[in-house]
Amino acid sequence: MEVPEVNEIKALLKRLGEERLVERVESFVRMNEGLEAKRGEDFIAVSILGFLEGVLTVLRERYPEDGEVKALYERVRTRREDLDEQFRKPGIPLFEE
């Protein structure tokens, strides 16, 4: 499964000298690769994007002046939210007339 933001974040992490975080990202992606058949690609993409959003949240605090971190965070957050909407259960219309 290919989530384009993974490669962008890995490149950003390498530029920032955060090699240990690169390893964590690669490990998380590998861990989720085998779940595609059971959960579906979009579900796994939401999971990976959520993890990347967390990594970028940490990076925003460490590097508050880095525009690339901010921009990538916003893109990942927006994409995750859009995909996440597909998995939300609709509200139960208990009180509709």
Give the pLDDT score at 57: 96
State pLDDT tens for residues 46-83: 999 999 999 999 999 999 999 999 999 999 999 999 98
In-domain check, residue 93: no
In-domain check, residue 94: no
In-domain check, residue 96: no
In-domain check, residue 9: yes
Query: Does pTM surpass 0.85?
Result: no
Q: What angle do CA 88, 30, 15 make, to 5 degrees?
A: 100
47: CATH? 1.20.120.460
Number of domains in the chain: 1
Q: Cα separation of 55 and 73, whole Å?
A: 9
Q: Domain range spanning residue 50?
A: 4-85
In the chain, what percentage of residues exceed pLDDT 70? Answer: 85
In-domain check, residue 97: no
State pLDDT tens for residues 11-49: 999 999 999 999 999 999 998 887 766 667 878 889 999
